[in-house]
Structure 1
């Protein structure tokens, strides 16, 4: 026996009633919440129109906002903050190249900032004293140039930086070490935070001639002189490999920069 299908009109009525019930439920929910349901201005939200992140009191605070904002990664300083230009030398002291760099700087009456590796400072305290005697500023560059230092525990970072400062001060007990430079520029929030806690400004750079690749004096000099402007901090190296090109380039770099800028060490007091 064939079962009769419900009348078409009845089906339509059921569908319409279901739609009306759904609308009534949505209206009731909006009245309970006290906010009428409506699409935001500009149409409904889509994947291309994400909601903005919270910026009110309920947003998670950044624990490192307490540190003064600077102009480099994670708050590290990458400019002098004024028209002066600063030359910086990383990875020393080195018994062969550091004396040559000091002689070139002395010849042009320029002071610079030397970022010292702790184990090198411990091995060559006479060179640390020579750097200070010439009026240059000191910077902590970690104990053994650990590029991964920023990813280690806060205690490990602190121990490394304190050990390096102790090696420097063993040579010059009253030395002011106002800066820390993370090897490789691999900055992280923890390493920035710890350096601040120890009274050292995280120090980045503006101009990187990649002299550590030993491209030759002419190339190093051209990159520095072309890239340097007011406020630049220039990164160079007086240790860590063959640095003769860097030393030789100084005799082209120094007269050019000195004719255009006030070239001086970063202030030893923050």
Structure 2
């Protein structure tokens, strides 16, 4: 049965309104990205097509699209609400932010706190955030780099059995196993400890089993989970662009819609009566920021 586009759009609109407000309270500005970009191997996701003997990408991953368009060094705080395609005609709606040009630790801490406050603005409080590190895994894979693609794929799928079958020393497998299963509030990697301490939220943990394999991530990554949903509802990570530190994340809006249980709108003032009089009254209330509905 086909979804009711109109009902779903109403729910999406009210959810996005709250997210926009939170992003803007943190000082972020909305960016309107074009639906079509000339093809580049640096663009992620999207659907590739040919036109006039050139290749293009339709609705690619927004982070890679922003990086492709950043021609000079500049500090930016951006957010976006858009649909991303994944190689077909179907896509997923995302809401996310990018903090480009901040100080190390600052970009990670602010990014995670924006994710927390954005969910709280929707009345979603039952969630947790797992923060991991690609740098820690880079160090752990030293000496067995030839198996890195298989190991990273196995980790991203939470399938350690694939690693057990690799011809690497037992001591190294034990090291990877301990890392894969580590989850707590404190670890040996001080950068992560400082982030967890600064965020100061009981729902945020160090979890080295958290892996995100998008190629632009440089170190710190995180994912947001809810016990009411079977997969991550959002995630992001740290990257570098033109010598600047940056951090971004995106929410899966389909997942957010399933978790959002709040009222869709404020109580509206119902106005009726003679047409001119009713609309004059409605106009005055709207100017005061009061929601209205004119009825016959």
Query: TM (normalized to structure 1)?
Result: 0.26
Between Structure 1 and Structure 2, which shows a larger proportion of strand residues?
2
Structure showing the higher helix proportion among its residues: 1
RCO comparison, higher one (Cα < 8 Å, 6+): 1
The structure with the larger Rg is 1
TM-score (ref. length: structure 2): 0.24
